[in-house]
Structure 1
């Protein structure tokens, strides 16, 4: 595929999960401020994206689509994941959820989903129905398929056809990718190209990832999305996690920003893709400081777009572009 067909893209994806994404290691009370702050963070991000013409993929946990707990329970898949570690099981913890979004803004989010829908250029993808851990011991492949079908059904009630998936905790396998393709998804977010970035969560690897956010240890993160060799689904590699602003590290903010902007320059000038990702709850506290950083990134994107034509695309738009280019052309 030549660069005229695929000039690379600026891709943003957000893992929209509220408490369903952190409940195995943080209680609502422990993370209350971040979770409540999502109610201000998402509108602020949407306004910024609209101002600078940025398209984004909001990978949303299916549980968040429902108006109340009765509707959610009625939509549970026929086959539930049977985790060996029960702390991972959101169904076992379902009693923690309140009755509806008004009573429980930590586990329901239909109003926020509709707000995302109302903004042009925003894609709502899936983060699975239940924040499904694909590589955890216990669940079967068929329970994963059932989970995806429930996610598709939940989204369809909003007129949404799911096309993109972000696997929770980046737990990805070939069989799970195949099921995604069979269920009609055309894009998935994979881990970074640099092997040690996707390494485990030991202290050494965590420290190395933290340092890489400020110093060019692992390269620029630029990538070229590619069609899977076996399935009709496109791999859209992530480039960098947008770490939230930290008071303890505020003296290094210019380094963090410089690292991101330099990678964006490299991607735009080499016709590649730079894929930035984070969670809305990362902006749930220190929203003003986080929006300042995101504004600088958005301004830089707008300049690159004006100078080089480097576009902003959702994950599904990246995939559709590649699938069109790879499709055999009929000749007369």
Structure 2
């Protein structure tokens, strides 16, 4: 088996930060993000990189009227009210002047036109799976709403990324029952373990930042495909390897160290025939789009080198389920045949 390079993107616009940011202040970022989506798609196509676009379901619609038609009947009842997208909308609204902050149906449709690109779900409302809330059926209703709105594009939702990386094993069966076959889990290392919003203390944040530039402890970022367990009735859990931090004007040295570290990790994964799973938000590129696109191409060129030298390939998240469950099924058939002989 060759090494595998995977990219997953958390595509969310204002739905990802409605509880902590002002949308007007983010106008340039969101408009830049929408502008560079086709550029990213072209770049992924050029280097034959398969990508999962985990997209908030609310981005699939064209306006607030349509959003009201698709939103789930059961809303989460968070103990902290500001985490509810529905309460936020009732308070602030989504008038046409903020179209660029909340809706992206044209970009969603564009993703499906490129080979190797998987349209996946980031839940309908940017649902927080570790926060306390009182509606037991709210998550199930959210996924059903995400699946329903995706029918507009004839795109079944087979992969999921938990918003804010709030991976919750208690929700895995609900995911599977709603057709989700692969989820992204968190990177190795105590400082990447899932926590509630606000649960990441100062030390944890320091370690996460440092890890982007230098080796922290004995944590390895790539892993063998065999370490991904196939469990009946649950989605595959595909660990992230590295969050791609955006370009910063503050330090060119930091930018170089960050890219060098990721390039080294891709090479190691290729040489060891392991999985390397890179992720970020398209919005991370919105403040300095041209510089970030150049950084991305550095990494994609590294993948191309590893493809030529080591035979490294690229899978989106959904392709793990297709390849691994199919392989497992084949082994079970052969085992049964031996028993019958």
Q: Per the shorter chain, which TM-score range?
A: over 0.9
1:204 is aligned to 2:203: yes
Tell me if 1:135 matches 2:127. Answer: no
Aligned partner of 1:189 in structure 2 is 184
Corresponding residue to 1:92 among 84, 87, 90: 87
Shift of 1:128: 0.3
Structure 1 residue 99: Cα displacement: 4.4
Query: Against the structure 1 CA distance between its residues 142 and 308, is the aligned structure 2 distance closer, same or farther, given a 3 Å change threshold?
Result: same
In the alignment, which of 307, 329, 333 is matched to residue 329 of structure 1? 333
Normalised to the residue count of structure 2, the TM-score between the two structures is: 0.91
Any stretches of 5+ residues in structure 2 without a counterpart? none
* Counterpart check, 1:269 vs 2:277: no
Q: 2:60 pairs with 65, 75, 86, which one?
A: 65
* Per-residue deviation, 1:127: 0.1
* Deviation at residue 110 of structure 1 after TM alignment: 0.2
Query: Any conservation in 2 of the 1:129–1:150 contact (CA below 8 Å)?
Result: yes
Superposition map of 1:277-316 within 5 A: 277-316=279-318
- Cα RMSD after superposing both structures: 1.7
8 A contact 1:12–1:277 mirrored in 2: yes
The structure-2 alpha-carbon separation of the partners of 1:224 and 1:165, relative to structure 1 and needing over 3 Å to count, comes to farther
Are positions 1:14 and 2:4 aligned together? no
2:250 alignment partner, SS class:
helix
Q: Give the alignment partner of residue 165 of structure 1, picking from 149, 152, 160.
A: 160
Aligned to 1:233: 235
**What CA distance in whole angstroms lies between the structure 1 residues aligned with 2:153 and 2:76?**
25
> What is the deviation of 1:230?
5.1
Q: Is the CA contact (8 Å cut-off) linking 2:75 and 2:135 kept in structure 1?
A: no
| More off after superposition, 199-208 vs 77-86 | 199-208
Distance in 1 between the 2:100 and 2:122 partners?
18
SS state of the match for residue 104, structure 1? helix
1:76-91 matches, cutoff 5 A:
76-91=71-86
Q: Is 2:63–2:99's contact at 8 Å kept on the other side of the alignment?
A: no
Distance 1:93 1:254 in 2: 39
- Match of 2:40? 45
- In proportion to residue count, which structure has more helix? 2
- Aligned pair count reads 326
Cα deviation for residue 196 of structure 1 reads 2.2
Indicate conservation of the 8 Å contact 2:230/2:236, yes or no. yes
Write the deviation string for residues 236-274 of structure 1: whole angstroms up to 9, x where unpaired: 100010000011132222211111011111111112111
The counterpart of 1:319, out of the listed 317, 321, 326, is 321
SS state of the match for residue 200, structure 2? coil
Contact kept? 2:27, 2:100, Cα under 8 Å: no
Aligned to 1:119: 114
Q: How far off its partner does 1:103 sit?
A: 5.3
Q: Which of 240, 254, 257 does residue 256 from structure 2 map onto?
A: 254
Q: Which moved more, 1:317-326 or 1:18-27?
A: 317-326
Counterpart Cα distance in 2 of 1:267 and 1:235: 18
CA positional deviation for 1:139: 4.2
1:182/1:227 CA distance change after superposition, 3 Å: farther
Q: Does 1:33 align with 2:28?
A: yes
Matched residues in 2 for 1:224 and 1:25: separation? 37
Cα distance in 1 between the residues matched to 2:170 and 2:293: 38
Q: Distance in 2 between matches of 1:174 and 1:121?
A: 28
